[in-house]
């Protein structure tokens, strides 16, 4: 592992107060980045995340709101730009899911999952792009799921939203690559956080049996992959989908 591979980078991570988002915020801080995080509603999680990042030597910025709210996206990006003079890295991590079969998914459930996982990424990417284009540099990393890349049993609204995020990654990477902006997607399998804590034990057991490595992933492992993907060491990946699922 290259020490402090993100030295001086100005990074914004949506949904950065718990789970994989918090693991990435910690890893980026350890690698020398300045980190701003967003959260939707749990102030206790936000306070704990700020304390954890401060203990690592960071001076995190934190903003509350829904990623599906255009005003929140615009205001957050403007605030980070005002504080730091720009944003080098955006990680669209904020997401939500529900472990429900098709027959029990209400229209409101569909809208919540699609808006958070797909629309939120669009809004924040749109908000940061003007500054990145002006700087002729930037990384946008979208956090997808192996469920949209492999034949896995996943809630259909979650899989559909993440598949949309994959399409957004492809199209945006081609649109902004001319400005030296790299857009990529990291697709984790089941981790020891998030959905890996929500599924029934027998479903988790099935996953572990099928995975070549015979275990769930660790959030810290995926965070280090993310740190490489948004670093200057990664200069030639664009529209890439990095699947880290333990070898399904």
User: Which residues are known to be catalytic?
Assistant: 158
Q: What does the alpha-carbon distance between residue 121 and residue 144 come to, in Å, rounded to a whole number?
A: 11
Q: What is the DSSP letter of 69?
A: -
**Which pair of structure tokens corresponds to residue 111?**
């809208």
In order of 100, 109, 119, 151, 166, the CA distances from 20 in angstroms are: 22, 22, 20, 22, 18
Single out the residue of 223, 207, 1 nearest to residue 91, CA to CA: 223
Please tell me the total number of residues recorded for the chain in this structure: 248
- Decide if 205 contacts 112 (C-beta within 8 A): no
**Which pair of structure tokens corresponds to residue 201?**
């034990």
Q: Scanning the structure block, which residue is given the tokens 């990529």?
A: 184
């Amino acid at each position: 592992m290259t020490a402090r591979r993100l030295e001086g980078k100005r990074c914004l991570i949506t949904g950065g107060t718990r789970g994989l988002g918090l693991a990435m915020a910690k890893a980026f801080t350890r690698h020398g980045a300045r980190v701003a995080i967003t959260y939707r509603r749990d102030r206790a999680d936000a306070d704990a995340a700020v304390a954890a990042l401060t203990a690592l030597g960071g001076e995190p910025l934190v903003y509350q709101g829904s990623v599906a709210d255009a005003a929140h996206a615009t205001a957050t990006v403007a605030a980070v730009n005002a504080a730091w003079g720009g944003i080098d890295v955006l990680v669209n991590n904020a997401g939500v899911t529900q472990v429900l079969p098709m027959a029990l998914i209400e229209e409101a459930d569909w809208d919540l999952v699609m808006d958070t996982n797909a629309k939120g990424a669009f809004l924040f990417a749109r908000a940061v792009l003007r500054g990145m284009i002006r700087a002729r540099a930037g990384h946008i990393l979208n956090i997808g799921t192996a469920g949209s890349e492999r034949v896995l049993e996943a809630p259909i609204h979650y899989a559909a939203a993440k598949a949309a995020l994959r399409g957004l990654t492809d199209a945006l990477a081609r649109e902004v690559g001319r400005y030296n902006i790299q857009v990529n997607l990291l697709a984790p399998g089941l981790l020891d956080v998030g959905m890996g804590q929500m599924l029934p034990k027998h479903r988790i057991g099935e996953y572990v049996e099928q995975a070549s490595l015979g275990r769930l992933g660790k959030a810290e492992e995926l965070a280090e992959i993310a740190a490489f993907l948004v670093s200057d060491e990664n200069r030639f990946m664009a529209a890439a989908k990095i699947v880290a699922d333990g070898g399904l």
